[in-house]
Amino acid sequence: IAGRFDGPALFLSGALSDYVRPEHRPAIKTLFPAAKFAKIPDAGHWLHADKPREFEGSLSAFLSA
């Protein structure tokens, strides 16, 4: 598939955001087969601003894996 990325990818979203919906997951997995999904509780669209420590922790854990 053109544009497919087989490496690790993290789709990190805020639990209060609807940007990454469950119905999007099949399309995401087609383009990013190794995609991981995570949500940060009580965060909206700007999860890095709403929950900076949780954002940093999630990103750090993903990059360290």
- 61: pLDDT strictly greater than 90: yes
Non-local (6+) Cβ contacts of 54 within 8 A are 40, 41, 43, 47
4-27 pLDDT, tens digit each: 999 999 999 999 999 999 999 999
Q: For residue 49, which amino acid is it?
A: A
pLDDT at residue 22 in the model: 92
Give the helix/strand (H/E) hosting 14. Answer: strand 9-14
The yes-or-no verdict on residue 1 having pLDDT over 80 is no
Mean of pLDDT over the chain:
95
| Burial of 47: CB neighbours in 10 Å, binned 0-12, 13-18, 19+ | buried
Bridge partner residues of 63 (DSSP) = none
SS3 of residue 54 by DSSP: helix
pLDDT > 90 in the chain, percent? 94
